[in-house]
Amino acid sequence: MKKVIAVSATLCLLLSGCSQVDSLLEKVPFLQKDNESESTIDKTDANKEQQDLNQETDQAEEDVPTLDAKFFNEVKVVDGKNVIQNPTNFLVLVNKELSLPDGYIPEDLVRPNVLFSFGDQDIEKSYMRQDAATALEIMFEEAKKAGIHLFAVSGYRSYTRQSQVFSAEVSKFGEENASLSVAIPGTSEHQTGLSMDLSSQSAQFELSEQFGETTEGKWMAENAHHYGFILRYPKGKEGITGYKYEPWHFRYVGKEAAAVIYENKWTLEEYFGTVKKI
């Protein structure tokens, strides 16, 4: 009689459907704990992933260098050209798309006390802006201590002189090719008074890619940032700068910016495309 009752109870359970089975399963303690544990683990993993992502984002934002707004170009469109309104800013970005104001001449030009490839001639290209000239003097002196003998070749270049240089290059190679190595008047870094072309006796005092292979050229590439200078037109960045590789052309931007640019292997364009304005 007991067997019949047990069978009947089992049949009743089977016939009653899944709802009752589910209800009974929900009341089984060890199954309940497993389900809750899996759910908790899933939520914990998801939270950890989100926290990691947030930390990575915060870290990325912290790693982005900041720069005071006063060092960014103030630009105004004049006759279809982007003309810089604050050219005295020593971090001024001048390139094929950003021009200096017509007739701009820095007011603090001085002749640095360094060796020039043309001797003691007191001519336009021997000048630089005061801060850049002082930094150049220090760099030359430190280079000399290291057995490196540098020569300054060409610094400040007026709009008029740039026009002459550009015209001469066009007559030799055509305007398209000329613009790859010589700036159109008004867009030259030399006009800022913050750049200096360098060479050495080992490079025959010439401005050529050969300088980059000399002991002096290599020293400059590795050490210029310590004195606030950057290699303005590096190899492999022609598509960004718009100019061919120029291992002789160094631009003063100050030690802080120079260090960041050097460490990240950036151009000045990439620097301004990355830094956060504050």
Helices 215-223 & 130-145 angle (0-180, nearest 10): 120
Residue 172's pLDDT band (boundaries 50, 70, 90)?
Answer: confident
* Average pLDDT value over all residues in the chain: 86
Contact present, 91 and 254 (Cβ < 8 Å): yes
Catalytic site residues? 246
Can you tell me the distance from the alpha carbon of 40 to that of 110, in angstroms, rounded to the nearest whole number? Answer: 71
Name the one residue in this structure whose structure tokens are 């020293």.
219
Reply yes or no on whether the pLDDT at 179 is more than 90: no
What does CATH list as the number for 66-277? 3.30.1380.10
Rounded to whole angstroms, how far apart are CA atoms 263 and 274?
14
Block residue for tokens 């022609």: 238
Q: Point out which residues pair with 129 in neighbouring strands.
A: 109
| Separation of alpha carbons 25 and 187, rounded Å | 80
- How much is the pLDDT for 37? 56
Tokens of 141: 């002196």
Question: Across the chain, where does the E strand assignment appear?
Answer: 66-67, 75-78, 81-84, 109-110, 128-129, 151-154, 195-199, 229-233, 246-252, 276-277
Highest mean pLDDT among 4-13, 15-24, 194-203: 194-203
pLDDT per position as a tens digit, 220-259: 999 999 999 999 999 999 999 999 999 999 999 999 999 9
**What per-residue confidence (pLDDT) applies to 36?**
55
Least trusted range by pLDDT, from 74-83, 87-96, 129-138, 173-182 = 173-182
Buried b (16+ CB within 10 A) or exposed e, 217-255: bebbbebbbebbbbbbbbeebeebbbbebbbbbbbbbbe
**Average pLDDT of the residues in 105-128:** 98
Smallest CA-to-CA distance from 65 within 91, 98, 84 is with: 91
Burial class (CB in 10 A: 0-12, 13-18, 19+), 2: exposed
Q: Encode pLDDT of 17-60 as tens digits.
A: 444 444 444 554 444 555 555 555 566 666 776 666 666 555 55
User: Who wins on pLDDT, 179 or 106?
Assistant: 106
Is the pLDDT score of 84 beyond 50? yes
How do the domains of the chain map onto residue ranges?
2-63, 66-277
pTM score: 0.78
Higher pLDDT pick, 59 / 152 = 152
